[in-house]
Structure 1
């Protein structure tokens, strides 16, 4: 196999903020071509999970997403904090904050990249089972989240009707359904 890795020649930060960091790289390909500029967006890793109650209902969230200027239905998700010791810890924290549910088991399903061509982070996916409501939500100042419980069949229908728009969430749901042996659409 040929080495296809690029060599980083230089890197310059164009913008650094809590929610967005952008840099301009200058790279050299294995055959000597110079790629300049190459822009990369840096983010902390993300987590998302299909969360199920004790009786198997999917815990969905509804919230406004300004990028699309729409209120969407999604699975619980969030950004890993620098203080989170692991993706599973971050998922458990996000589930508690967004839903108020605690879970018997949080099963890792792997990781995917939203766009490996221009972003540096991964999304770690989980299936959380045995959910029990233990407290009220603890939302960030800019979050307004409504909880909606639905059957797995209703969730599958949302995907069939293209109503679950967040692609990383759809990916997680597919992996979770595969893990549960329920990856079936009519």
Structure 2
């Protein structure tokens, strides 16, 4: 694949903030074609997780998503903070903040690129088992999250009916179902 890699000739930042950075690049293809401007959005990496409580129920979060102006049912997840030492640490932090649960086991399911054509970040996916409620939610000032507990069969039915819209979360759910089958849990 390296024979297809573009050469970065120039790069300048158009906008920088804590949540979004926009960059304009000038690139050269292996055939010598100049591609300019090429816009890239920079984000911190993200984490998400299929989280199971001690009874095997799936811990879901319901929250408003302004980008599509809808309230969605999703799995827990979020943005890695700059001081998070690892994706695993970030995921445990997000689980505790969003749900109030701690987990016996956190299994890495791999990583995916949310939009590699125009974004630079990675989403790290996990499966958490043995969840136990240890505190109340500790939400960010703009977060309002309702916890919803589902039986595994309810989650599978929602997938079959295409009722979950967040594509990164649906991907994680499918990887988690494969891992749970491998572990002979579902």
TM-score after normalising by structure 1: 0.96
Say whether 1:168 aligns with 2:168. Answer: yes
How many equivalent residue pairs?
Answer: 182
| Aligned residue in 1 for 2:107 | 107
| Aligned residue in 2 for 1:25 | 25
Gaps of 5+ in 1: none
Q: CA RMSD in A?
A: 1.0
Q: C-alpha separation between the residues in 1 aligned to 2:20 and 2:171?
A: 24
| Aligned residue in 1 for 2:53 | 53
Shift of 1:179: 0.3
TM-score after normalising by structure 2: 0.96
| Aligned residue in 2 for 1:90 | 90
Gaps of 5+ in 2: none
| Aligned residue in 1 for 2:121 | 121
Shift of 1:2: 6.2
- Hey, which bits of structure 1, 4+ residues long, moved more than 4 A? none
Q: C-alpha separation between the residues in 2 aligned to 1:91 and 1:2?
A: 32
| Aligned residue in 2 for 1:42 | 42
Q: Deviations along 1:74-97, whole A, 9 cap, x unmatched?
A: 000100000000000000000000
Say which SS state the counterpart of residue 85 (structure 1) adopts: coil
Say whether 1:70 aligns with 2:70. Answer: yes
